[in-house]
Chains A and B, each alone.
Chain A
């Protein structure tokens, strides 16, 4: 493993953000936390993470809007969505757009880790 995978965490809720970052780091990955989609988009495309964990319900730019913008600008990496309001409609939309996982809140750590590791394994194969 040449380089430690970087996981981007985008959630407007500070508590959720911090706990996810801790979990990611406990797995040995590097965690970059962002309070909003806009904050993430401000950084240059060259530093794209290996994977992203994002909330759906966020003010100004929602999780699925963020995904759409990234797809539109050709920035492709696996995205794991986590939402307190898992609706089938949104699930179908983000999955169709290439999301890796769609999890409800709260989800067990095992589930998050399984999704994350699957996503990273997929990345490694490419």
Chain B
């Protein structure tokens, strides 16, 4: 739909117009020449020119004008020759003047029409939907974008009432808006409309009132921009922000919003890579605290405020240097992670509450990627006081139980232990008596005296070692994490039970592979496990008359594990008992507490290992424990 088409009209073609224009000109010429009419027939040529002008071609107008002027002059010459006759000559001149004036006007009209057509084409080029409605709200113009967005073609839209067609919903009363428009000549707003397909769209609309020459409003130009997607995207953004705020405010996890962009500038200025920065930080320990204020905290959620006892976000931010433990090197790690472009850094540390109390926390600092990432650093903080307390309580309970079990174990073998202490004591007393006698001889034998005294000293040491071994075993201490050689632990454990096994005629064989790597753990607890397994093995064979052999082997299993097996030659474990062997309070011994193996398994699992039992009834039982070798061989 263009204005050019409208001007030409759909019914009469361009060729037809040219034909009728020419035919009319020829008819006027014939009448002018052949009839004796003494009138201004030639004036009718202007009709031919007007017809030609309707083709809207400048060329057609010029051709028609030139043709008509030529015909006028030819007709005059044919009728009157070169004689000058005043009246006919005047008529011919009037005709020529009429032709000239008509041509000029037609050409002017043509130019104006073309300008309008160009403007209309520009309106069609617009991405905005543009239409014009008259004072009765009837649509009189409808551009291409309107066709595309609303779905109605111009033919369908023209002549319709705009509000009815588009089912427009206004933000205000329609008559109030119209009044405003008449008052100011403009109106802008956001309205809801429906397309031909029924879809609801949101548009930003601008109205301009068009007046006629009498300043009377005649039409309204409406320009609409489809903002449906923009509104939806904005809505989603608002919802997302609201959701984030809810999480920020209601979460039990402490959250701090931070802007690290100045810190990035400072780090960039240093021009160091990650290793270089680490090195710089180790040589200048205060560097972190110099640059720390550059990591600006912008907001702190209620959970984090509560965690440190701050009454507001600003109180938290004002005291930030007091809240962080200056001795903690983890912040250095965070700085290096940030400098190296890691997406996050996490760890455990302690915050110092405003009341001075320290609280253990787990934290994650996330460094978002992208241009604005440095301005949107988030730190998440979880208070693990309760978890830590529960963990400590559990560890303490386990240690207490293990200690109780060690006391019980020693109680079981107290006779052997008494014997072990008694033997050196007996030797000391006897040696002392012997020494005295050598001394009181008529001729004191000093060589023998010296031998007995040496003996007393050696046996005294031996008794001391036995006592020390037992004291260590009975010591109540929190579990340690030491680098341990399994050979030492086996040696200590077998020393404790050697007498007990010997008493029951049990032969103990120990085979340890050479060059076993160290393990990591608690010496006493592991010793306790072995003591337990060895005593159990000895006791399992107490009722049998044949040979009683316990074999302890230590070696490597699957490269990174230490495997220790304790095998006896007893009657084995009944298949029914096997699955319940490690259950607390399960025992097959008279007066047994049934905690030994349960505690042993807990201990081994706490060391990252496993303890299992297998048995073929009639041919002994084998307990197998595995422990991971320490990965930190370099540590002392």
Measuring CB to CB, which residues of chain A are less than 8 angstroms from any residue of chain B? 12-13, 15-16, 18-20, 22-23, 25-27, 57, 59-60, 82, 84-85, 105-110, 112-113
Contacts and interface: CB of A to CB of B under 8 A. Distances in A.
Given A57-B503, A85-B419, A15 B455 contact: yes
A107 B455 CA distance: 17
B448 A57 contact: no
Interface of B: 415, 418-419, 422-438, 441, 445, 448, 451-452, 455, 458-459, 462, 502-503, 505
A106 B415 contact: no
A16 B448 contact: no
A105 B459 CA distance: 14
A27 B441 CA distance: 9
B430 A26 contact: no
Nearest to A21: B434
A23 B430 contact: yes
Given A19-B434, A59-B505, A60-B505, A109 B424 contact: no
A108 B429 contact: yes
A19 B459 contact: yes
Given A15-B458, A27-B437, A107 B429 contact: yes
A33 to B, nearest CB: 13
B434 A109 contact: yes
Nearest to B423: A13
A96 B502 CA distance: 27
A12 B503 CA distance: 11
B310 to A, nearest CB: 69
Nearest to A111: B433
Given A105-B423, A112-B430, 7 more contacts: A15-B424, A15-B427, A15-B459, A22-B434, A22-B451, A105-B426, A109-B434
19 contacts: A13-B423, A15-B423, A16-B430, A18-B427, A22-B434, A22-B451, A22-B455, A23-B431, A26-B441, A26-B448, A59-B502, A84-B418, A105-B426, A106-B425, A106-B428, A107-B426, A107-B429, A108-B433, A109-B437
Contact of A109 (B430, B445, B505): B430
Contacts of A22: 430-431, 434-435, 438, 448, 451-452, 455
Specify which of B424, B430, B452 lies most central, judged by the most chain A CB atoms within 10 Å of its CB.
B430
- Residue of B418, B426, B429 most packed against chain A (CB within 10 A): B426
Contact of A23 (B424, B437, B458, B502): B437
A59 B428 CA distance: 22
Given A60-B505, A108-B429, A84 B419 contact: yes
A108 B429 CA distance: 7
Nearest to A59: B502
Given A15-B423, A19-B455, A57-B503, A26 B415 contact: no
A114 B126 CA distance: 132
Contacts of B437: 23, 26-27, 109
A61 to B, nearest CB: 10
Contacts of A15: 423-424, 427, 455, 458-459, 462
B131 to A, nearest CB: 115
A86 to B, nearest CB: 11
A28 to B, nearest CB: 9
Contacts, number: 90
Contact of A20 (B430, B432, B505): B430
A114 to B, nearest CB: 12
B435 to A, nearest CB: 8
Contacts of B438: 22, 26
Contacts of B426: 16, 19, 82, 84, 105-107
Contacts of B502: 12, 59
A13 B502 CA distance: 12
B427 A85 contact: no
Nearest to A22: B434
B257 to A, nearest CB: 75
Contacts of B415: 85
Contact of B433 (A13, A82, A84, A110): A110
A16 B427 contact: yes
Nearest to B462: A15
Q: Of residues A20, A84, A113, which shows the largest number of chain B Cβ atoms within 10 Å of its Cβ?
A: A84
Contacts of A112: 430, 433
Contacts of B429: 106-109
Given A59-B502, A110-B433, A19 B452 contact: yes
Given A16-B430, A19-B455, A22-B455, A105 B503 contact: no
A107 B426 CA distance: 7
Contacts of A60: 505
A106 B419 contact: no
Nearest to A14: B427
A19 B419 contact: no
A38 B464 CA distance: 31
A90 B434 CA distance: 28
Contacts of B432: 109
A113 B440 CA distance: 15
Contacts of B419: 57, 84-85
A50 B389 CA distance: 71
Closest 8 CB pairs of A and B: A109-B433, A15-B427, A26-B437, A106-B426, A23-B434, A19-B430, A19-B431, A22-B434
Contacts of A16: 423, 426-427, 430
Contacts of B452: 19, 22
Most chain B beta carbons < 10 A, residue from A13, A22, A59, A108: A22
A107 B428 CA distance: 11
A88 to B, nearest CB: 16
